[in-house]
Chain A
C-alpha cells in the first residue's frame, strides 16, 4: 500500500509504541499534522504553547517511563525553539525523538522562508540526527532514530523531514528486522579479567564507597546495586540524577554527593580507599577540584559509554558495559564483607550534619523552602514523582525529599535548564497517569515556561505546581552573597501575582505564607483532578548548605553554622 510521507511518519510512530506526542504546527510540518487527524484515536497530540515546552515534555515523559518521548515542530523558528530541550536531554542521556518539518528539498540552501539548517544546529546536542531526502527511507530512518535514542547511552535524536518528502508517496514497508548499524554497537558485558580485577579491589578495600548514578536506573540495575551493597556492606552515595537508584531510607545509603551533597558523603569520598562508580560520569559538580579528589582511593568505573572512562577521573579498573549485565556477571563471584569501623565513622559525620539541619532550627514567623519540601514529602507519603526546576529549590528538594523509588526525581542536572520543571512534569504525567506528580519550581524558572499552564488546562493534566517564591533568582543570589559581597545585581524580581495568573488560566490555586497552611493547600491540590498551583511565599535570603564552591576541594565545604554558632 502506498502512503504519503506524513502517513508513514504516523504509522512508524505507532509501530514504535508511541501513544502521545508533544508539538506545535507550522507550514513545513503541516502535511504531517493533516495526517494526524486519521490517527487521533491512537496517537494523541498535545498542543504546547512554545516548542521548548514540547521538548521538555517529551523529556519528562522519557525520564518518567524510560520510553522514548516524542516532540514535533515546524521548520525554522519551531525547530530552533527545540534546541534548549534537546541540549537538556543530551546532557542527561534522556531518550527523545524530535521530528521537524523542513522546507522542500529544492529550496534547501536557498534561505527559503523559515529555513534553518537544523541538522547543522543540533549536531552537537543530539546523539544523532537525520535529514531525510527520500520518502522511501523515511520508515527505516524513524526506526533507526528510535533505536539510537533508546539503546546504549540514551539520548535525543532529531529527524528533519522536508515538506515534499512528507507529501511524496511510497510503499510503506516497516523494517521488521532489528536495526544493525556497523558504527553503533554499545558495549554490554565485561570480560572475565575485568570482573576479576574489580572483585580483587573490592576484596582488598577497607574504606570502599559506591557512587551510584543515573546509569543504574537507565540500566534497570536497582536490585543488583542493592545486592552488591548489602552483601559487601559498602555504603552508597548518590548523584543528583542517581537519586532513587536505591531507596534513600536504606541504612547503607549515605545521601547525595557533590557541591550541595551531604557532608558525610563528601568526607567519605575523600577518605575512601576505593570508589565503585556505577553509571555516573564524575561531573564537576560531583568532584570539585579533580587534583585533590579521592586521592587515596582506587577507582572502579563501570559505564556504558567508553568515552566516560578515564575522562575526568582515572580508573584503575574501567569497564565499558551495561550495568545490569556487568553486575550480574560480578555478583555470583562476590564474597560477603563487613566494614563496621568505616560505617561507624560515616555515622559520626552524619550525626554532625543532622545537628546542622535547618529543620531543627527555630524559625518562627518565616517559611523555609526546606520546610515546604519536607512537608510535601510527608504529605505525599514520600511517594510522589517530583519534577524540579533549577536553583536553590532544586537542591533543597534533593536534600529534603528522600526518594524511595527509581525515576521519581526528574530534574535537569547536566545542563541545569531553568524552565524545565513545569513542562517536564506535564510530560511525566502523560507517561505515568497514575502517579502523584509535583512540579517544584522557582519563581524565576517557572516564568520561563509558564505559558504551558494553558497546555495543562486545555488537556486537564493533573499536575500540582508548587512555586517556591523567594522573589529572587535565589541560587544566583546565593553566589552573590558568598562571592560578590551581596551585590544583588539582576537577581531580585518583581513577580506577577501567580495565583491571579493561575486564575486567568482557570487553574485552581492557593497561596501559602505560613507553615501551618501547607497541609491544607497540599490536600486541596491532591483533591482536584486537573492542574493546580500553590504559591509558597518563602524566606527571601535562604542559603543552601553544605556548599563546595565551584572548583574547590570536595572536603572544603561551607557548612551551615550549628545553632548558637552563627
Chain B
C-alpha cells in the first residue's frame, strides 16, 4: 500500500437525510479508521429533508474510494461524491479579528483587504473583524499576510464545494414523518390503508 502523504486530503460531498444522528454516523466512520476530519460543513439544501455536507479528510488519495463506498453504505447517506478530481468550485469563509490600535495596522489592513476578496465587517477602537471568502489556499495566503499585524481571534467555516457543469447532486427524498402524515391523510379521506 502506498504511504499516505500527511498533507494529502480527500474532499467528500455527501447528500444526507436531515435527521438526528446522521452527523454522528458519519463522524464515527472516520473515527474508526482514525482519519482526522480537517473540516466538515453541513447545511440545508433547497429540498426540505436533505442536508449537504462537505467533508475534508486527511487521508491519502488511495483511501478516497474506500471512504466513498463506506459512506454510501450508511442508510441515511443518499449520495456521495469525491470531488477532488472533477472540476468544482469551492469556498471557505474566515472571520479574522485583528489588532487595530494604531494607524500603521489600520493602513496595512485596508491595503491588504483591497487586494483580496476580503471586507472589514466590524471596526472598533482596538480590533477589527475581517471577513474573507475564497478557496482554502487563498485564505491561507491571506492569513499569513495579516498574521504580522496581530491576529486576536479567528474562525473558519470550512470548505464547501460544488461540482461544475450539469452533473447534479440531487434527490426527491421524502422523510418518514412526511410519509406517515400522507398515509394518515389518505386514510382519513377514503379509509384505505396506504
Interface window among B67-75, B111-119, B120-128, B131-139: B67-75
> Is A183 an interface residue, CB under 8 A from the partner?
yes
> Is A355 an interface residue, CB under 8 A from the partner?
no
Contact yes or no, B176 A140, CB < 8 A: yes
Question: Could you tell me the distance in whole angstroms from the C-beta of B177 to the nearest C-beta in chain A?
Answer: 7
A311 partner, pick from B66, B72, B77, B180, beta carbons under 8 A: B66
Question: Could you tell me the distance in whole angstroms from the C-beta of A15 to the nearest C-beta in chain B?
Answer: 11
Question: Could you tell me the distance in whole angstroms from the C-beta of B12 to the nearest C-beta in chain A?
Answer: 14
Interface window among B3-11, B20-28, B37-45, B159-167: B20-28
Q: How many residues of B contact A (CB 8 A)?
A: 32
Contact yes or no, B194 A177, CB < 8 A: yes
Which residue of A has the minimal Cβ distance to B49? A182
Q: What chain B residues lie within 8 Å of A557 (beta carbons)?
A: none
A112-149 to B contact mask, C-beta < 8 Å, 1/0: 00000001100110011001001011001100100010
* Known A120-B24, A173-B187; contact A307-B73, beta-carbon cutoff 8 A: yes
* B35-78 at interface with A (beta carbon < 8 Å): 65-66, 69-70, 72-78
10 A–B pairs (Cβ distance < 8 Å), ordered by A: A136-B180, A140-B179, A140-B180, A182-B78, A183-B72, A183-B76, A183-B77, A305-B73, A306-B73, A307-B70
* Known A123-B24, A176-B194; contact A307-B69, beta-carbon cutoff 8 A: yes
Task: From B73, B74, B172, B194, name the one whose CB has the most chain A CB atoms within 10 angstroms.
Answer: B73
Question: Could you tell me the distance in whole angstroms from the C-beta of B35 to the nearest C-beta in chain A?
Answer: 15
> Is A181 an interface residue, CB under 8 A from the partner?
yes
* Known A123-B25, A183-B17; contact A176-B193, beta-carbon cutoff 8 A: yes
Contact yes or no, B176 A137, CB < 8 A: yes
Q: What chain A residues lie within 8 Å of B79 (beta carbons)?
A: 183
* Known A119-B21, A183-B77, A311-B66; contact A173-B184, beta-carbon cutoff 8 A: yes
> Is A184 an interface residue, CB under 8 A from the partner?
yes
Which residue of B has the minimal Cβ distance to A132? B176
* Known A175-B183, A176-B194, A305-B73; contact A137-B173, beta-carbon cutoff 8 A: no
Contact yes or no, A183 B177, CB < 8 A: no
Q: What chain B residues lie within 8 Å of A136 (beta carbons)?
A: 180, 184
> Is B108 an interface residue, CB under 8 A from the partner?
no
> Is A310 an interface residue, CB under 8 A from the partner?
yes
Contact yes or no, A141 B176, CB < 8 A: yes
A140 to B179, CA, bound (A): 9
A124 to B21, CA, bound (A): 12
> Is A174 an interface residue, CB under 8 A from the partner?
yes
Contact yes or no, B74 A306, CB < 8 A: no
Q: What chain B residues lie within 8 Å of A148 (beta carbons)?
A: 75
* B142-194 at interface with A (beta carbon < 8 Å): 171-173, 176-177, 179-180, 183-184, 187, 193-194
Contact yes or no, B194 A181, CB < 8 A: no
Contact yes or no, B66 A175, CB < 8 A: no
Q: What chain A residues lie within 8 Å of B20 (beta carbons)?
A: 131
A144 to B28, CA, bound (A): 22
A183 to B171, CA, bound (A): 10
A175 partner, pick from B16, B32, B74, B194, beta carbons under 8 A: B194
* Interface residues in chain B, defined as those with a beta carbon under 8 Å from any beta carbon in chain A: 16-17, 20-21, 24-25, 28, 32, 65-66, 69-70, 72-79, 171-173, 176-177, 179-180, 183-184, 187, 193-194
A51 to B72, CA, bound (A): 32
Which residue of B has the minimal Cβ distance to A139? B180
Q: Which 7 A-B pairs have the closest CB atoms?
A: A307-B69, A183-B78, A182-B173, A128-B75, A182-B78, A306-B69, A184-B75
A171 to B193, CA, bound (A): 11
Which residue of A has the minimal Cβ distance to B179? A140
Contact yes or no, A307 B66, CB < 8 A: yes
Q: What chain A residues lie within 8 Å of B179 (beta carbons)?
A: 140, 175
Q: What chain A residues lie within 8 Å of B73 (beta carbons)?
A: 305-307
Contact yes or no, B184 A171, CB < 8 A: yes
Q: What chain B residues lie within 8 Å of A120 (beta carbons)?
A: 24
Which residue of A has the minimal Cβ distance to B67? A307
Question: Could you tell me the distance in whole angstroms from the C-beta of B107 to the nearest C-beta in chain A?
Answer: 52
A84 to B28, CA, bound (A): 19
Task: From A148, A174, A181, A307, name the one whose CB has the most chain B CB atoms within 10 angstroms.
Answer: A307
A305-345 to B contact mask, C-beta < 8 Å, 1/0: 11100110000000000000000000000000000000000
Q: What chain A residues lie within 8 Å of B21 (beta carbons)?
A: 119, 123, 131
A182 partner, pick from B74, B171, B183, B187, beta carbons under 8 A: B171
* Known A123-B28, A173-B194; contact A144-B176, beta-carbon cutoff 8 A: yes
A307 to B194, CA, bound (A): 35
Question: Could you tell me the distance in whole angstroms from the C-beta of A218 to the nearest C-beta in chain B?
Answer: 16
Q: What chain A residues lie within 8 Å of B17 (beta carbons)?
A: 183
* A182-221 at interface with B (beta carbon < 8 Å): 182-184
Contact yes or no, A173 B66, CB < 8 A: no
Contact yes or no, A137 B180, CB < 8 A: yes
B72 partner, pick from A128, A131, A137, A306, beta carbons under 8 A: A306
Q: What chain A residues lie within 8 Å of B16 (beta carbons)?
A: 183
Question: Could you tell me the distance in whole angstroms from the C-beta of B32 to the nearest C-beta in chain A?
Answer: 6
* A371-426 at interface with B (beta carbon < 8 Å): none
Question: Could you tell me the distance in whole angstroms from the C-beta of A162 to the nearest C-beta in chain B?
Answer: 14
A174 to B193, CA, bound (A): 7
Question: Could you tell me the distance in whole angstroms from the C-beta of B61 to the nearest C-beta in chain A?
Answer: 14
Q: What chain A residues lie within 8 Å of B72 (beta carbons)?
A: 183, 306-307
Question: Could you tell me the distance in whole angstroms from the C-beta of B20 to the nearest C-beta in chain A?
Answer: 8
Contact yes or no, A124 B28, CB < 8 A: yes
A326 to B179, CA, bound (A): 34
Contact yes or no, A134 B177, CB < 8 A: yes
Question: Could you tell me the distance in whole angstroms from the C-beta of B173 to the nearest C-beta in chain A?
Answer: 4
Q: What chain B residues lie within 8 Å of A175 (beta carbons)?
A: 179, 183, 194
Q: What chain B residues lie within 8 Å of A134 (beta carbons)?
A: 177, 180
Which residue of B has the minimal Cβ distance to A128? B75
A182 to B78, CA, bound (A): 6
